[in-house]
Amino acid sequence: MKSIMVTGGCGMIGSNLVKRLVKEGWDVYVADNLWRGKIENLNDENGKPVIDLDTHFFKKDLSIYEEAESVVGITDYVVHLADIVAGIDYVFSNQGELFRVNNLINSNLFAACRKAGKEKIKGLLYVGTVCSFPLTRQNMLNPEPLHEDELFPAMPESAYGWSKLMGQLEIGYLEKETGIPCCTLMFHNVYGTPTDFGERSQVIPALIRKAVNYPKEEFVVWGSGEQGRAFIHVNDIVNALVLALDKGWGHGWIQIGPSYCTSIKEIAYKVAEISGKGIVPRFDTTKPEGDKARCADYTKAKEILGWEPSVSLEEGLRESYHWIEKQIKG
C-alpha cells in the first residue's frame, strides 16, 4: 500500500482528494492547522472520518519548521496543498502577512523534504496558482488562453501570486538538487464543496451565501462583473491530482482549468436564477475586482495527464448552492 501525506487536507480540495485516495487504496495522512479547513470535512456520507484521526491526522502549523519536519518522511508521497488564501478582500488587505506566511510554509515543507531525501520521498506534488501569471496577460477582457511558458518575466498582481510563484521556483531547485520526483499543478479558480462561505470566502460561495440569505443580506457583486475567470469544479481538480500522481513527475508546471472565461456577472445571474427569489444583482464598482480575465490553454494537461474538465458550470453551481443552503438553514 502506497502512503501519502496531504497538507491542507481538511480544505475543500484536500478533503475531496483524501476521500478519493482512500477509496483507491492509499494509506492517507493529513496535516492541517484548521485555519480554513474543518476536521468534519474528512467525514464520509455517514458522518465517520475516512482516516484514523488518532494516527493519521496532524494539526500542524507548517510555517514553523519543526512542525513541517514532523510530518515529512513518514509517507512515500507528499501532496502540498496548504497555504493562506481567501477571497479578494482578504488577499489584498493582508498582502505582506500572506506573502510572509506562504513563503514560510513552502520553504519549510521543501526543506524538510530535502532533509528526508529521495530515499524516503518518492514524489512531491505542489499546487501553484494562475495568479502567478503576469498581470500584463490578465488585464484585458476576452484574453487568449494562458500558456505555461508565459510565467516569465514575472509580474503577478498580488502577493498571493508572488508567494506561490516562489514555491514553484523552490520546488524546481529541490528537484534538481535531490532527485526527488516533483510536479507542479497550477490551478485556475476552483469551486465546489465543502467550502468556506463566510466573510473570507471566494466569489462563488460568497454570492451563493448572499442569495441564500437574501433579502436579509443584500446581493451585491464586487466590481463591474465584467471580469472573467476559468472556473473549475473540485471534482475535476481531484481528477487532475490523481492523474498527476501517476503521470505528472518531471514535467514542470501544468495548468489545470478550462479554455474559456466566465464573467462574474454570468455567475451572479446564474446564482440568482438558481435561488428562485427574483434577485436582481447590484454591482459595486467601488470594490476591487482583481485581474480582468484569464483562462487556460490546458494542452499540456491533456497531453501529459490525459486530463480535461468534465463538470459543467450549471451542474457545479447547483450542487454548491444546495450544499451551502443546507449548511445555512441547518
Per-residue pLDDT tens digits for 305-314? 999 999 999 9
Sign of the dihedral through C-alpha 294, 299, 304, 308: positive
In whole angstroms, how far apart are CA 172 and each of 67, 165, 175, 176, 268?
23, 11, 5, 6, 39
Which residues make beta-bridge pairs with 129? 187
DSSP string covering 100-122: HHHHHHHHHHHHHHHHH-TTT-S
Judged by average pLDDT, the poorest of 33-42, 83-92, 116-125, 298-307 is 83-92
Residue-wise pLDDT tens digits, 208-227: 999 999 999 999 999 999 99
CA distance 301 to 197: 30
Spacing of C-alpha 198 from chain mean position? 17
Q: Which pTM value belongs to this model?
A: 0.96
CA distance 50 to 194: 15
**Residue 258 confidence (pLDDT) above 90:** yes
pLDDT of res. 199: 83
Looking at residues 121-145, what average pLDDT do you find? 95
Backbone phi, psi, residue 183, to 5°:
-150, 140
In this predicted structure, what is the pLDDT of residue 142? 86
pLDDT at residue 290, as a whole number: 84
The CATH architecture assigned to 3-195+230-260+295-311 reads 3-Layer(aba) Sandwich (3.40)
- The residue extents of the domains of the chain are 3-195+230-260+295-311
Whole-number mean pLDDT of the chain?
96
Q: How far apart are CA 64 and CA 226, in angstroms?
A: 40
Confidence of residue 207 (pLDDT cuts 50, 70, 90): very high
pLDDT band at 1 (very low <50, low <70, confident <90, very high): confident
**% residues pLDDT > 70 (the chain):** 100
Q: How do residues 274-303 score in pLDDT, each as one tens digit? A: 999 999 999 999 998 888 999 999 999 999
- Per the structure block, which three cell numbers stand in for 165? 510563484
- Answer for the pair 143, 200: CB distance below 8 angstroms, yes or no: no
Maximum CA extent, the chain: 60
